[in-house]
Structure 1
């Protein structure tokens, strides 16, 4: 006797197709709404985080095409992959205040549009540089009191110092905006991410609005961009210590703001520009801010922020003495796009006159003329951040570089660069 319903190959195939279609529809809906591309790993990721182990993975890819001026018409691509894990010792071992351990690894690949196509100083792709796999952070952080937080270990200086905590500056693709002012690293032992050094950072809340940050980092110039030192934490060629001190004010109002005033000093002895003499110590100061200037009362989340940057570094030893930056970022530019941003920025990087004199003297000695170029490289950047999903951001970008040869002493036409930045969290 046969059952009224039998599994035939045709029915089995149809059933599988229906199940797959239903699963695919659910998966697609979930894929568009989940916070990371790989999701919750069947609940394992959430469980691990509850137990004190949090995994992160991020990708950024930046393609830039030089459409006019500069050196060559072509495109360049660079990428950065960052893998991290954070251990919450309080959760892992049941401690009352165990602190956290952070481990991060970065891998960078690609080519530079600035070096190959334009010839300018400010990197068009902020994720270019140090093209190898390296340890970026191995640190321990703990709150010793409600007001005092200490972090120490192997880490990048710009994680906490010199940058705006709001993240407003990384609505741009050019490294002149995204991060701390670049003349800091050009004129001292301050290093750009993902270069890391041994150091310690202290945060102390003076009040609910005011905070003091102090740090000290080992200066080891030979390890910067050196792939053989990618996994070596120890200070092999120490020249000194760089100490930044930063005062932070966070305006708590209907139109909030963040202001940072900082000073840094590097104890290293270095050659004075244009001379064989050494200068003892290098220093600099900076001011950065992010201030909301408008909120739309009829559309929560829509706001306009203005930002500003000023930084000055050692005239004796820095080839890059001043940086000025300013711009605006509009959050939620369209009613149906609550997580998008529209950003416009202007920056001016001023070479050290002593560096210019060295270039002029070298040209004269070789019997060549020195071009009549401006006293600074300037940058205008317009970008739109399209948050396609919670884990995927697409950023079309346009940059106009004025006087690209200001730092090299080369007569290079102003450049128009169009690009696309892709950021994804896994």
Structure 2
């Protein structure tokens, strides 16, 4: 019933020690900039970092930990910690080859470790920690990007997660639960759609029609089995390909004083997938989504102080997707106090709707009539509330205390579980 403060403190200390261990020793020699005000933990490396950037090589790295305790409901009380370390290199070929419009190469390696609060403590479908999943070291991106024919047409090809550029809302990185951050989960649940850190072979085209309108599409390999194996973490394999997925997305930008961005998308997956509750195969999977990010208030005296509202609605294939629909709304207050220009306060509500065909399968598999009745009485979906405060302690360090309330956490698994209250902290640091 009570928050495990000792476990949280221990995990947070371990997080800090891990972060310091990753910092290059020569960062201490970088006295030209102040630790509390520079943009990255390790600084400019005595000027070497900027020299590399001037030559066309940009090196990046970041750390993200999420430690959560289950205070009430769910399966049991306890605390779980998960972390992600990401390193990347971006090569500007125009600078490196001294050739105009030569494009850019991106390489990203991702490592995840830890344990899941959702799996171990709550027993719910919408992951409490967005950085949990695929807990091993892998190559997440190896891509080449350039313009085609005109600056308005951009192309990217290679090995990367399709969700890096489709179906996301940057505003929702203000949240910790994977239900909000930063794609509707109907996409990856009901098709071959992949989000970070899982890469697939593919290509993207993006055309900027005007400052107000951008159109984009892509074609990506669908490989649900091999691309999730740790043994294939660096092979960029094509084994196990079941089909291809093609998204279409229109992005509308409202560039007014109260600005906003609206995305409308649809996707088609050619994979043959077994229908829920049947031995028959569906010869495709489709889905659609609408995403909205709109400023609804801005301080005229301080334009950085703004209140943004968001909304999401997504649907997936009725024959093959256990998560049939997703709805979410919320608010993010940026610069909540004059003295905290880079902080945020975020609140959101979301509902994931369980496919009625999947519920029928659960009822049919019940061992007793009483169990079947219990399953039938469960809610048709899982609901989520999240509230947090994002404190930008330094330009390179963000600390986000977070509280989540999960309603009907057992709805997707045919289990009767009490509504769960979890609390924890997310720590993000840029190297």
Distance 1:118 1:297, change over 3 A: same
Query: Is 2:403 the partner of 1:398?
Result: yes
| Contact persistence 1:364–1:370 (CA under 8 A) | no
| Contact persistence 2:158–2:201 (CA under 8 A) | yes
Alpha-carbon separation, structure 2, partners of 1:319 and 1:261: 22
SS in 2 for 1:190: coil
How many residues in Structure 1 have an aligned counterpart in Structure 2? 400
Shift of 1:159: 0.6
Match of 1:296 among 295, 299, 314: 299
Shift of 1:219: 0.4
SS in 1 for 2:421: strand
Corresponding residue number in structure 2 for 1:413: 418
- Report 1:88-237 matches (<5 A): 88-144=92-148, 145-164=150-169, 167-237=170-240
| Contact persistence 1:156–1:194 (CA under 8 A) | yes
SS in 2 for 1:55: strand
SS in 2 for 1:32: coil
Match of 2:386 among 368, 381, 389: 381
SS in 1 for 2:187: helix
Which structure has the bigger radius of gyration?
1
Q: C-alpha deviations, 1:248-276, integer Å up to 9, x for none?
A: 00111101100000000000001000000
Corresponding residue number in structure 2 for 1:13: none
Corresponding residue number in structure 2 for 1:4: none
Shift of 1:336: 0.1
Shift of 1:221: 1.1
Alpha-carbon separation, structure 2, partners of 1:375 and 1:367: 18
Shift of 1:224: 3.9
| Contact persistence 1:158–1:179 (CA under 8 A) | no
| Contact persistence 1:303–1:332 (CA under 8 A) | yes
Alpha-carbon separation, structure 1, partners of 2:249 and 2:80: 37
Alpha-carbon separation, structure 2, partners of 1:265 and 1:394: 39
Shift of 1:185: 0.7
Alpha-carbon separation, structure 2, partners of 1:202 and 1:28: 42
SS in 2 for 1:360: helix
Alpha-carbon separation, structure 2, partners of 1:387 and 1:406: 36
> TM-score when scaled to structure 1?
0.92
RMSD of equivalent CA atoms: 1.4
Match of 1:79 among 64, 83, 97: 83
SS in 2 for 1:333: coil
Corresponding residue number in structure 2 for 1:316: 319
| Contact persistence 1:248–1:260 (CA under 8 A) | yes
Shift of 1:223: 2.1
- Report 1:32-43 matches (<5 A): 32-43=36-47
Corresponding residue number in structure 1 for 2:283: 280
| Contact persistence 2:58–2:89 (CA under 8 A) | yes
Structure 2: which 5+ residue stretches go unaligned? 1-27
Q: C-alpha deviations, 1:77-97, integer Å up to 9, x for none?
A: 000000000000001011110
| Contact persistence 2:304–2:335 (CA under 8 A) | yes
Alpha-carbon separation, structure 2, partners of 1:92 and 1:174: 40
Match of 1:306 among 283, 306, 309: 309
Alpha-carbon separation, structure 2, partners of 1:191 and 1:90: 30
- Report 1:343-382 matches (<5 A): 343-364=346-367, 368-371=371-374, 372-382=377-387
> TM-score when scaled to structure 2?
0.91
Alpha-carbon separation, structure 2, partners of 1:424 and 1:91: 29
Q: C-alpha deviations, 1:309-366, integer Å up to 9, x for none?
A: 1100000000001000110000000110000000000000001000000000001568
Alpha-carbon separation, structure 2, partners of 1:189 and 1:365: 35
Alpha-carbon separation, structure 1, partners of 2:304 and 2:401: 22
Alpha-carbon separation, structure 2, partners of 1:407 and 1:118: 12
SS in 2 for 1:212: strand
Alpha-carbon separation, structure 1, partners of 2:178 and 2:89: 26
Structure 1: which 5+ residue stretches go unaligned? 1-23
Shift of 1:367: 7.2
| Contact persistence 1:255–1:292 (CA under 8 A) | yes
| Contact persistence 2:140–2:161 (CA under 8 A) | yes
Q: C-alpha deviations, 1:117-155, integer Å up to 9, x for none?
A: 000000000000011000000000001211100000000
Shift of 1:298: 2.1
Corresponding residue number in structure 2 for 1:271: 274
